[in-house]
Amino acid sequence: MKARRGYDRARWALTIAALLLVAFPFYWMINTSLKPASEIFLSPPTFVSAHWSLDAYATVLTKRPVGRYFVNSLVVALGTTLISVTLAALAAYGFTRFFPRGATPFIVFLLFTKMLPETLLIVPYFELMSDLGLLNTYAALILAYSSFALPFAVWMLIGFFRSIPRDIDEAAMIDGASYLQAFCRVILPLARPGLVAVALFTFLIAWNSYLWALVLTTDSSMYVLSVGVANMVGEYRVQWNELMAAAVIAALPVMVLYSLLERHLVDAITSGAVKG
Amino acid sequence: MAASPEQPAHATAGRGTRRGATPWTRRRRVGYAFVAPVFLFLCAVVVFPLLHAFWTSLHRVRGLASTFVGAQNYVRVLTDDAFWHSLAVSLEFTGTCVALHMTIGLGLALLLDQLRFARTALRIAFLTPWMVAPAIGATIWLWMLEPQFGVVNYLLQAAGVIAAPLAWLGVPSLAFASVVAVDVWRGTPFVMLLMLAGLQTIPREQYEAAAIDGASAGQRFRYVTLPNLRYLLVVASTLDVINTIRHYDTIGVMTAGGPAGATEVLPVLLFNTAFRGNRFGEAAAIGVLLMLIVLVFAIFHIRFTRADLENAR
């Protein structure tokens, strides 16, 4: 029993040490974001400060276009989610109900598209969007984001729809419902938990995306948060407290939403990889 | 609309025999209507751009004008030392990162699996580096690694590990080590999560039986845990290779490939060729070559998980 307890203690000590390492960058981000500009370049740096305030956040939101970046991220991520989840729900229903055997080759195709290097696709996307005059538009970003969000959403939703017994919609149709009615009134409500989870994932993946927006926007008023924040580093004199405040604004919603999704996280990553 | 192979009798039962069509062809048509939008959309946003990338790789693009040059872009890329250097950096980066992701990820999973409380909270906490946008994570590290005022130099000096501040991203070997470290910080949780899920599927009886037979902790790991996780270890490392070798954001933000090309992995070389060098044809050729590398692992992954794909969930 004593050995067991010692073992447990060692385990906890290791866990906490690992946690400190993992979490330190976030602590440093928040700590820096709360400091006044004069304290950023102190040596040794302060780990806790009596001068902590939200000034940097106020500056970033009023004097810098971070609010604008936030809105851009929101519009693009929401647009991508709306398109992806709508189309994916239709396709997932179609595949699981009408072509159950066709679903596997389609899933393999989706898997390939999910594995394409995004750097390969940004070249044609840049060419096509500039030809179409769509650089610096939400439309370009939403279309580009759909190229990785849609395969993901279809893939996840096929999994969810497979778990809804087909007897249920067949029963509805025996009662006289059309396919579309069965889909809208019976299946969609049943699939709601899955739809919500997939929508949140799609939103987060879109929100976190960087490279596409980096290439498809040149006008700083169209930057999304990830691009806007990363670009602030290149400025003449970097205000690290402001930069970290902007990073918190970009990162915090993601952390909260992902934590809510914790239950589905394993499924999302492993669908097809782990059974059970 | 083609007749279905399973229903050849209906091939001739076209429109007009009954109102519209037979129930089977009608059912089929409804099915097509449900899947068609996604098909068309995927063609527009994935297949067409992909074909366009191939097309670009066979052309010299100058502004709006482009001339067909055959395989010239590929020849140019493949005879350029920069490509082979970048390939070597990519392989070294991916190999190092994946090895570290796997060992640390498995270690963390073993650590968390046995804890008796706060497991969910800890799992979420350990996942945070993976949740945050890689570009944002890289930005935080840029500040921590800043040579003059960065906290990393301060802590290492205070601990006596280094005598003087280091320019982490200014020296080739240090820059490579730095981007590896950041990618390990970012990428390990992914493996940890997979391993945790795998550990939970191992039947407890196997451990109990091993304990009764007098197996030590090390032996239980060697003869129970590892064999049970073997499948998942292969799946996770393949996926991780695919994700790491094509990853742009971390290095793109931290070093953009520098100093002196020390961190110029293939995706970064591609980006620099296209958007700094303005050589789209060559960039597309690099992209196609990168895709071929990824494809090898993707095909392996798909063949290996074939059974799972068929009855996913």
Q: Could you read off the pLDDT of B175-202 as tens digits, one per residue?
A: 999 999 999 999 999 899 889 988 988 8
Domain that holds residue A46: 2-53
Cβ(B242)–Cβ(B308) under 8 Å? no
Does residue A276 lie in a domain region? no
Closest-CA distance of chain B to residue A124, Å: 5
Query: Is there a single domain that holds both residue A36 and residue A172?
Result: no
Answer with the one of A33, A53, A73 that is the final residue of a domain: A53
Chain A: closest CA distance from residue B192 (Å): 10
**Residue A113 scores a pLDDT above 90:** no
CATH number reported for the structural domain that contains residue A143 in this entry: 1.10.3720.10
Q: How far apart are CA A48 and CA A68, in angstroms?
A: 31
Both A46 and A160 in a single domain? Answer: no
pLDDT mean across residues, chain A: 87
| Distance linking the first and last C-alpha atoms of chain B | 32
Burial of A149 (0-12, 13-18, 19+ CB in 10 A): buried
Q: Is residue A11 located within the same domain as residue A49? A: yes
Q: Which residues on B lie below 8 Å from A43 (Cβ)?
A: 149, 154
Interface predicted TM-score of the whole assembly (ipTM), two decimals: 0.91
Question: Could you tell me if residue A182 is inside a domain?
Answer: yes
Same domain, A208 and A188: yes
**Is the distance from CB of A137 to CB of A224 less than 8 angstroms?**
no
Judging by beta carbons within 10 Å of its beta carbon (0-12, 13-18, 19+), is residue A105 exposed, middle or buried?
exposed
The number of helices, as runs of H, and strands, as runs of E, in chain A is 15, 0
Nearest-by-Cβ selection for B30 from A115, A179, A255: A179
Report CB contact under 8 Å: A88, B129: no
User: Hey, are the CB atoms on B50 and A45 less than 8 Å from each other?
Assistant: no
- The minimum CA-CA distance between A192 and chain B, rounded to whole Å, is 17
Residue A192: pLDDT band with limits 50, 70, 90:
confident
Q: Is-contact B284 A251, C-beta < 8 A?
A: no
Contacts of A250 in chain B (CB under 8 A): 132-133, 136
Strand partners for B61: B66
pLDDT for B309 equals 66
User: How many Å apart are CA B249 and CA B179, to the nearest integer?
Assistant: 11
Q: Tell me which H or E stretch contains A152.
A: helix A138-162
B-chain CB neighbours of A82 within 8 Å are none
Residue with the bigger pLDDT between B94 and A177: it is B94
What's the sign of the alpha-carbon dihedral A268, A217, A59, A50? positive
Residues of chain A neighbouring B112 (CB-CB closer than 8 A):
15
Show residues of chain B in contact with A255, CB under 8 Å.
128, 131-132
CA dist A33 and A41 (Å) reads 13
CA distance B30 to chain A (A): 8
Mean pLDDT of chain B: 88
The arithmetic mean of pLDDT across residues B17-39, rounded, is 78
Nearest CA to CA, how far is B173 from chain A (Å)?
A: 22
Chain B residues touching residue A163 (CB < 8 angstroms)? 313
A101 and A238 in a single domain? The answer is: yes
| Domain architecture of chain B: domains with CATH | 13-74 (no CATH), 80-310 (1.10.3720.10)
pLDDT for position A247: 95
Q: Could A91 and B194 be called an inter-chain contact, meaning their C-beta atoms sit closer than 8 Å?
A: no
Residue A69 shares a structural domain with residue A48: no
* Number of structural domains chain A divides into: 2
Q: How confident is the model at residue B19 (pLDDT cuts 50, 70, 90)?
A: low
Domain co-membership, A45 together with A96: no
pLDDT in the model for residue B7: 42
Examine residue A58 and state whether it is found in any structural domain, yes or no: no
Chain A residues within an 8 Å CB radius of B122: 15, 19
Q: Say if residue A47 is in the same domain as residue A72.
A: no
Residue A220 located in a structural domain: yes
Q: What is the dihedral of CA A203, A205, A210, A212, to 10 degrees?
A: -80
DSSP A42-93: -SSPPSS-TT--SHHHHHHHHTSTHHHHHHHHHHHHHHHHHHHHHHHHHHHH
H or E, element range at B61: strand B59-62
Answer whether B194's CB lies under 8 Å from B236's CB. Answer: yes
**pLDDT tens for each residue of A14-32:** 999 999 999 999 999 999 9
pLDDT for B10? 42
Query: Which of B193, B288, B313 minimises the CB distance to A266?
Result: B193
Q: Which residues in chain B have Cβ-Cβ distances shorter than 8 Å to A227?
A: 135
Q: Is-above-0.80 flag for pTM?
A: yes
d(CA B259, CA A236): 20
Interface check A274 vs B, CB under 8 A: yes
Which of A14, A29, A53 lies at the terminal end of a domain, its last residue?
A: A53
Burial code (b: 16+ CB inside 10 Å, e: under 16) for A134-144 equals bbbbeebbbbb
Residue A99 and residue A45 share a domain: no
Domain contains A275 = no
**pLDDT of B18 over the 80 cut:** no
Chain centre distance of CA B174 = 24
Domain check: are A131 and A206 in the same one? yes
What is chain B's alpha carbon radius of gyration, rounded to the nearest angstrom?
A: 26
Cis bond before residue B259 (omega within 30° of 0): yes
Asked whether the beta carbons of residue A271 and residue B313 sit closer than 8 angstroms, the reply is: yes
Helix, strand, coil abundance in chain A, percent, nearest 5 = 80, 0, 20
Cβ contacts (< 8 Å) between A116 and chain B: which residues?
A: 46, 50, 291, 294
Q: How far apart are CA A63 and CA A54, in angstroms?
A: 14
Q: Which residue of B has its CA nearest to A269?
A: B194
CB pairs under 8 A between A and B: 285
Contact B232 A22 (CB under 8 A): no
User: Cα–Cα distance between B313 and B293 in angstroms, integer?
Assistant: 30
My answer on whether A140 and A191 are in the same domain is yes
Q: Can you spell out the DSSP letters for A212-240?
A: HHHHH--SGGG--HHHHHHHHTTSSS--H
Which pair of structure tokens corresponds to residue A186?
A: 């019976």
Chain A from 122 to 151: CB within 8 A of any B CB:
122-128, 131, 143-144, 146-147, 150-151
